[in-house]
Amino acid sequence: MAELVGNVLVGQSGGPTAVINASVAGVVSEALNHECVEEIYGTLNGVLGILNEDFIDLASESQQAIRGLRYTPGAALGTCRYKLKKQQDFERVLEVFKAHNIRYFFYAGGNDSQDTADKISKLAQEQNYDLRVIGIPKTIDNDLPVTDHCPGYGSVIKHICSTVRQVACDNEAMGQHDLVQIIEVMGRNAGWIAAGAALAKRRDQPNDPPHLIYLPEVAFSTEKFVGDVQRVLQREKYCMIVVGEGLIDADGNYVSADDKTDAFGHAQLGGAADYLKGLVEQNFPTVKCRTVKLGMAQRAAVIGGSKADADEAYLAGQAAVKAAVVEGETDKMVTLLRGDTDHYSCETGLAPLSDIANGVKKLPREWINEDGVSMSNQFIRYAQPLIQGETVVPYENGLPAFVKLEKVRVDKALPAYEI
C-alpha cells in the first residue's frame, strides 16, 4: 500500500466515557511515530468542529498532557450528538478536509458515529479524494456489533458494582424486611450495563445484592415484579434492585421515557426507577423505597475505574493509526478480540464500518437465568476480566488532578459555514 502523506484528524462523538480520552492518547502517541503524518489535529465537538473548521493542534500539546488523557474522563476534544443532515453537510466536511490536507480521519464513537464515519469515507471515494477513515469503538452501553466488548463498558460496570456494594452496607444497617433500594443505570435498549451489576455478588454468596436485575431484553411484568420483591423481603432484610433505563413491557413500550428524542431519533430515557418505586409503594404500603439514579456520574467514573478498560481504549487508538497508516486500511472500525485461552487476553481486529453503523448488539438471552432477574455464569465469565485492575489517577490537595488540553487553534482556511 502506497504511503499517504498528510495530516491526521481525530474526533470524539456521543456520550463521553471514563476512557474515551485514552483512545485519543493512543492515536496521538502512535501518529507521532510515522513520518508520513505531518500534523495531528483534533476536531472540537466532533462533526460540528469539522463543519465549523474548529481544529486544535494536538502535536503541540505536552507529552504530560497526552499521557494524562489516559486517566481523565469526559471528552477532552468535546463531543456532540449532531447528525449530518443534508448532502451539503457532507460536501462541507470534504471541503474542510481538503483545505487542511486531512488524509487520516479517526472517529471515536458509538453506533451513529460509525455510520457518520462510513458516509464521510464513501463520499471521499466518490470524489477520488485519498482519505483513510477508521472508527474507534466507544460506548458504555457495550452494544456495538462485531466487537467482543467496547471501551468504556468495563469501567462503568466496575463503578456500578462498587456502588452496589457500598449502598448495600447502608441498606444492611437500615433494613428490617421493610426496605427496597432501586438503582437505575444507563444502557438504552440493551441490558449490558444492568447485567454487569451481577459482578457485585460474591461467588460463595448467591443471595448477595443486587437481588433483582431488570433488563430491556426481558419484558417487564408487574405481577412478576411484585412477587419477586415479596420473595426477597421475606428472605432478606432489604431488597436491592438494579434496573436498566430501557426497560420495556410485554408490548415493547418503554415503562418510562420522555417524549423528546435526540438528533438521531433516540428516545430520551430515564425514570424506570421511579416507575418501579411507584409499584412498590402501591403494593407494599409499609415498605420504604429509595432510588439512586447514577446518571452521568456512572460514565464519568474514572476513580476506581478499570485499568483493563483504559489500557484497551488506548490500544484501540494505537491500532486505528497502525491500520490506516501502515496497513492502508479504510472504512473499518477497530474491534476488540478476546483470546480463546483460559487466561484472558485481548487483541485488536477490524470490521467494516457498514457492519457496525446503526446496529445494536443485545445481551444474549442465554446469559440471563430462567428467573429473568439474574445472570448466568457464562455472563460472569465474560464480564469479570473487563473490570480488572484500577486506573491510577494522580491527586492534588486531596482531589483528582485531571488534565486540560491547551487547545492551540489551527488557523481557518475557509469562509464560515451556516449550520
pTM above 0.85, yes or no: yes
Q: What kind and span of H or E run contains 163? A: helix 153-174
* Residue 375 in marked binding region: no
Cβ burial 329-367 (10 Å sphere, 16+ → b, else e): bbbbbbbbeeeeeeeeebebebbebbebbeeebebeeeb
Amino acid at 341: T
* Residue 187 in marked binding region: yes
* 103 three-class SS: strand
Q: What is the dihedral of CA 55, 58, 61, 62, to 10 degrees?
A: 170
Q: Determine the pLDDT at residue 203.
A: 83
Of the listed 141, 143, 228, 309, which one is catalytic?
141
Q: Determine the pLDDT at residue 262.
A: 45
* Residue 56 in marked binding region: no
* Residue 120 in marked binding region: no
Q: Determine the pLDDT at residue 359.
A: 80
Q: Does domain 6-140+303-357+389-400 have CATH number 1.10.1060.10?
A: no
First to last CA, the chain: 37
- The length of the chain is 419
* Residue 251 in marked binding region: no
Q: Using alpha carbons, select from 31, 25, 10 the residue that is nearest to residue 323.
A: 31
User: In DSSP terms, which residues pair with 332 in a beta bridge?
Assistant: 134, 352
**57 an active-site residue?**
no
* Residue 366 in marked binding region: no
* Residue 139 in marked binding region: yes
User: In DSSP terms, which residues pair with 351 in a beta bridge?
Assistant: 333
Domain ranges within the chain, ordered by starting residue: 6-140+303-357+389-400, 153-185+187-293
Residue with cell 483545505: 99
* Nearby residues of 258 by Cβ (< 8 Å), 6 or more positions away: 267, 268, 269, 270, 271
What is the C-alpha to C-alpha distance for residues 298 and 200, in angstroms, rounded to an integer?
15
What is the C-alpha to C-alpha distance for residues 48 and 194, in angstroms, rounded to an integer?
32
* Residue 245 in marked binding region: yes
CB-based contact 367:379 (threshold 8 Å): yes
Q: Determine the pLDDT at residue 400.
A: 97
Q: Which CATH class is domain 153-185+187-293?
A: alpha beta
Q: pLDDT of 103-156, one tens digit each? A: 999 999 998 899 999 999 999 999 999 999 999 999 999 999 999 999 999 999
DSSP notation for 320-358: HHIIIIIS---SEEEEEEE-SSSS--EEEEEEEHHHHTT
Q: Which residues of the chain have pLDDT under 70?
A: 1-2, 257-270
User: In DSSP terms, which residues pair with 348 in a beta bridge?
Assistant: 336
Q: Give phi and psi for 30, each to the nearest 5.
A: -75, -40
Tell me if 6-140+303-357+389-400 shares its fold with 153-185+187-293. Answer: yes
Q: Using alpha carbons, select from 152, 145, 266, 244 the residue that is nearest to residue 190.
A: 244
Q: pLDDT of 221-273, one tens digit each? A: 999 999 999 999 999 999 999 999 999 999 999 987 655 544 544 455 568 99
Integer Rg of the chain from CA:
22
What is the C-alpha to C-alpha distance for residues 148 and 387, in angstroms, rounded to an integer?
15
Q: Using alpha carbons, select from 161, 95, 70 the residue that is nearest to residue 387.
A: 161
* Nearby residues of 136 by Cβ (< 8 Å), 6 or more positions away: 23, 27, 106, 107, 108, 109, 151, 316, 317, 320, 333, 334
* Nearby residues of 401 by Cβ (< 8 Å), 6 or more positions away: 393, 394, 395
Q: Which CA distances in Å does 84 have to 68, 128, 306?
A: 31, 21, 34
* Nearby residues of 205 by Cβ (< 8 Å), 6 or more positions away: none
What is the C-alpha to C-alpha distance for residues 362 and 77, in angstroms, rounded to an integer?
30
* Residue 380 in marked binding region: no
Q: Using alpha carbons, select from 136, 138, 149, 116 the residue that is nearest to residue 361.
A: 149
